[in-house]
Structures are given as C-alpha cells and as structure tokens.
C-alpha cells in the first residue's frame, strides 16, 4: 500500500499531499467510493456541503475502522451560508451529517464577492479554529485580490487555497502568491476532470516512457511541484491507480514538457463570477 507523504500546513498540522475528491458522487455511491478509497490507502477525503454527500462520506468513515486521528477530512461552507452566524450553523450541519466531532480542514467554497460576506464568514472560521472544532481553516477559489482583502481584515493566514489547477491551467501567479505567504496550494480537477488532459500526446508519451498511465503522470507532476491533489473516481481500478504514484519520478525534461502545456484555460467557473 502506498504511503502518502504529508504537507505541513502553516499551523503545523500535517495534511496528506494526495487525497480523494467526491464532487458529483451521489450520496448513495459516496459510501462505496470512499470505502474503496480508504481500503486503497487514502487517508484524506475532500467533500463539501453542496456536494450532498457528507452523510455517505461519514458512513464510510465510521464503518472503515480507520482511527479518526489517521484521517484528514475536509469540507466546505456553501455560498448561501456565508455570514458569521449562518457559517456557525452551516458548520454544525456539516459536522452532524459527517457524524464527526471535528473536521481537519474547513474551506470557504467560493469568495462570492458580490455578497461581500467572506470576511465575516472567515471570522466565524477563526472562532471554530479557536474552539478546536476544526484543525485548520482555509479558502477555495480565492484570487490573490480576495486573499489580500481577507488577510487585511483577519488574523489567521489561510492554511490552504483550493483552486482549479491542471496542465491546461497551471496557475503560476497564484502558486507564487501562496508560496510567499505560507498558503498551501491544493489542486481541484487535478486530472482536468478526466476530459482531454489525459489524451494530450506529450503526456501519453511521458506515460509510455515510465510504463505508467497518463493520470499517474499528471498526478506525479502535481506532487513534484508541491501541490496537494484530490483526484476523484468512482472506478475501483482508477482509485487504486491514482494513489500508486510514489514509485517513480518525472525528470526535468518531463516536467518541462508538461509546463509547456499551460493555456490558462479554465474548465470550471471564474471565481469572480460565482455568487
Ligand atoms: N473547490 C471547488 O470549487 C472544487 C471544484 C471542483 C472539484 N473540487 C474537488 O476536486 C476533486 C477532483 O476534481 P474533479 O472531480 O472535478 O476532477 P478530476 O479528479 O480531475 O477528474 C475526475 C474525472 O476523471 C476520471 N478519472 C479519475 N481517475 C482516472 C484515471 N486514472 N484514468 C482516467 N480517468 C480518470 C473520473 O472518472 P470516474 O469517476 O468515472 O472513474 C472523473 O470523471 C473533486 O472531487 C472535489 O473534491 C473542488
């Protein structure tokens, strides 16, 4: 079984560098998918209130027999729950659906700038952190401008910013901004949602050279850059394949070939537009 190395977050908490994402997995299937992932050796699970599968995720965790302290569970507050009091209520709901008494990482899902509530939301996150109900707090889909405003108004530097990141959207500016401030970069849709990226000839050629799959090469590229990754799959063989990425190394030529694929092209929404 592969051992996933940790990233040390800015408050000293260890987060596995590779975890399991469950976006678009219906609640009934999440239980099986998360159970398969835990069996395969994943110890970090990424869900969100809006995914509607915190209950299935929680059932799989409860039934797994894996000690709670060996797991790293992330969930996210949805946009309509932003605001101080509504955040505290939203957190209670997520925790109860997960069947847990704390989460490891709590993220603001989108800045939703038109509502102007992410600073108040984050102040509630700081209270959850101070109360020991979350081990680390962070954000998702925040642009550097949003982070700048947030950090001017609050005291805890976000531990993580989870953003869309894959070979067609390499996020150089954001990654550099995060690195300078001790914020870990977590890549969502690390495989480009399985569309297109895995057929790019340069990636297929690197996979052939190493006797690996295209998905493994893309995940390895993220890991060697220092990104946290959370690939999603409901296919048992892929769940295993995606964590079996610690037995080979991409060389400088491979990394350069993947770097050259950046097109600054998003698959998902622009953070300024989601409210
Ligand atoms: N914060 C945010 O706003 C945000 C937004 C999007 C996603 N996320 C998080 O990021 C996670 C991952 O992103 P994602 O689900 O969009 O995309 P992804 O992990 O990049 O790709 C998942 C897709 O690729 C396929 N796939 C997985 N492994 C494969 C392999 N080894 N070979 C071929 N195809 C493979 C999956 O198919 P099957 O499942 O059919 O096997 C699925 O269709 C999400 O689950 C979620 O936790 C966060």
- The string of pLDDT tens digits covering residues 243-259 is 999 999 999 999 999 99
Question: Model-level pTM?
Answer: 0.98
Ligand 1 atom with minimal separation from the 267 CA: 16
CA 168 to centroid of chain Cα atoms: 18
Q: If you average pLDDT over residues 21-29, what whole number do you get? A: 97
Nearest CA to ligand 1 atom 32: 215
Does residue 51 have an active-site annotation?
yes
Tokens 């050279």, residue? 209
pLDDT, residue 64, reads 97
Taking residues 153-176, what's their average pLDDT? 98
Query: What's the whole-number mean pLDDT along residues 14-38?
Result: 98
CA pair distance 205, 217, nearest whole angstrom: 10
In this prediction, residues 34-60 reach a mean pLDDT of: 98
pLDDT tier for residue 128 given thresholds of 50, 70 and 90 = very high
Contacts of 140 (CB under 8 A, 6+ apart): 76, 107, 108, 109, 110, 161, 162, 163, 186, 188
* Cβ < 6 A, ligand 1 pocket: 21-23, 46, 109, 140-141, 162, 188-194, 198, 213, 215, 230-235, 238, 241-242, 268
Q: What's the chain's average pLDDT?
A: 97
- Residue 16 has what pLDDT? 98
Given ligand 1 and candidates 18, 20, 22, 23, which is best to mutate, with the most ligand atoms within 8 Å of its CB? 23
Is-contact 150 116, C-beta < 8 A?
no
Q: How many Å apart are CA 247 and CA 48, to the nearest integer?
A: 31
- pLDDT level of residue 1 (50, 70, 90 thresholds): low
Whether the CB-CB separation of 18 and 191 falls below 8 Å is answered with: no
pLDDT tops 60 at residue 52: yes
Residue 98 has pLDDT above 80, yes or no: yes
Instruction: Supply the pLDDT for residue 253.
Output: 98
**Coil, strand or helix at 30:** helix
């Amino acid at each position: 079984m592969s051992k996933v190395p940790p990233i040390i977050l800015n408050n000293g908490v260890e987060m596995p560098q590779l975890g399991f994402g469950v976006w678009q997995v219906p609640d009934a299937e999440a239980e099986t998918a998360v159970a398969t992932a835990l069996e395969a050796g994943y110890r970090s699970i990424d869900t969100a209130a809006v995914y509607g599968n915190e209950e299935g995720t929680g059932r799989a965790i409860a039934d797994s027999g894996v000690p709670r302290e060996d797991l790293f569970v992330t969930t996210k507050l949805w946009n309509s729950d932003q605001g101080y009091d509504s955040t505290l209520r939203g957190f209670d709901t997520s925790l109860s659906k997960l069947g847990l008494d704390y989460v490891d990482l709590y993220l603001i899902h989108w800045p939703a700038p038109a509502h102007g509530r992410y600073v108040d939301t984050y102040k509630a996150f700081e209270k959850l952190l101070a109360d020991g109900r979350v081990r680390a707090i962070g954000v998702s889909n925040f642009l550097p401008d949003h982070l700048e405003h947030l950090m001017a108004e609050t005291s805890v530097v976000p531990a993580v910013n989870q953003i869309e990141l894959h070979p067609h959207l390499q996020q150089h500016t954001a990654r550099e901004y995060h690195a300078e401030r001790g914020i870990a970069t977590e890549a969502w849709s690390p495989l480009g949602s399985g569309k297109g990226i895995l057929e790019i000839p340069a990636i297929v050629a690197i996979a052939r050279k190493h006797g690996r799959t295209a998905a493994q090469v893309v995940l390895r590229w993220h890991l060697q850059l220092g990104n946290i990754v959370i690939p999603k799959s409901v296919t048992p063989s892929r769940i295993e394949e995606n964590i079996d990425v610690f037995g080979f190394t991409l060389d400088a030529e491979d990394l350069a070939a993947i770097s050259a694929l950046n097109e600054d092209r998003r698959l998902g929404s622009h953070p300024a537009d989601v409210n």
